[in-house]
C-alpha cells in the first residue's frame, strides 16, 4: 500500500500535479521521494554533519518550488538523526560536501562498513568562519577620553588614600 502511494506521489511531482509542499507529512522524509526531489532540484542539501552539543547528526535542506508566475517559494527543513547509519542512508552516502564532523567519534566497524574516507570526513573544522582573530579593537575618541579621565581619577584616589593613611599616622 505505502509503496504504491510513494510511486503515486513521485508521479504527481513529475507531472507537476502537486508541489513539494503538498507531499503528505508521513511521506515527506521517505528516501525514494527525497532522492527524487534532490535529483530534480526540488530539494537542495545545505549544511550537514555532527552536532557535538546534541550528540546527533543533522541535515539542513531547502525545499524549492517555482510558481507559474516565476515566483520562488522556499522552506527550510532541519532533520537530526540519533545514529550514523540512518544519517548515512538518508543522504545516500553523500556525507562529505559542505559537512562538518569535528568531535564526532565513529567506531571502526562503521568506518569500515561504509568505506568512509576519514581524512576527507575531517577536512572541515567548523561552519563558523569568523573568530576573534578576525576583529581588532579600535577605540573611538570618546572611549579614549573616557579612559584617560578614569585613569586620572584613579591616580587622584590613590593620592587621597596615601594622604589619609599619612594623616592617620600623625594622630
Query: Taking 80 as the threshold, does the pLDDT of residue 1 lie above it?
Result: no
Residue 168: predicted pLDDT: 74
Q: What is the pLDDT of residues 41-81, one digit of tens each?
A: 999 999 999 998 899 999 999 999 888 888 889 999 999 99
Average pLDDT, the chain: 86
Inform me whether the pLDDT recorded for 149 exceeds 70. yes
Predicted local distance difference test score (pLDDT) of residue 76: 94
Helical (H) or strand (E) element with 119:
helix 118-121
Domain ranges of the chain: 2-128, 136-171
User: What is the average pLDDT across 93-120?
Assistant: 85
| CA 90/CA 32 separation, integer angstroms | 10
Residues 6+ apart with CB under 8 A from 110: 84, 85, 116
Of the pLDDT bands very low, low, confident and very high (cuts 50, 70, 90), residue 135 is low
φ, ψ dihedrals at 27, nearest 5°: -115, -5
- Find out whether 101 and 50 touch, Cβ atoms under 8 Å: yes
157 or 133: whose pLDDT is higher? 157
Amino acid at each position: 500500500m505505502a509503496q504504491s502511494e510513494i510511486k503515486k506521489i513521485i508521479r504527481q511531482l513529475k507531472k507537476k500535479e502537486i508541489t513539494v509542499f503538498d507531499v503528505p507529512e508521513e511521506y515527506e522524509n521517505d528516501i525514494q521521494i527525497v532522492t527524487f526531489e534532490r535529483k530534480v532540484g526540488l530539494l537542495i542539501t545545505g549544511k550537514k554533519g555532527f552536532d557535538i552539543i546534541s550528540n546527533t547528526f543533522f541535515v539542513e535542506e531547502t525545499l524549492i518550488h517555482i510558481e507559474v508566475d516565476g515566483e520562488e517559494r522556499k522552506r527550510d527543513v532541519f532533520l537530526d538523526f540519533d545514529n550514523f547509519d540512518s544519517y548515512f542512508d538518508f543522504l545516500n552516502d553523500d556525507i562529505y560536501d559542505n559537512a562538518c564532523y569535528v568531535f564526532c567519534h565513529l567506531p571502526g566497524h562503521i568506518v569500515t562498513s561504509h568505506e568512509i574516507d576519514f581524512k576527507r570526513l575531517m577536512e572541515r573544522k567548523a561552519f563558523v568562519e569568523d573568530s576573534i582573530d578576525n576583529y581588532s579593537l579600535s577605540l573611538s575618541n570618546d572611549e579614549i577620553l573616557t579612559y584617560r579621565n578614569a585613569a586620572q581619577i584613579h591616580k587622584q584616589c590613590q593620592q587621597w588614600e596615601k594622604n589619609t593613611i599619612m594623616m592617620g599616622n600623625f594622630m
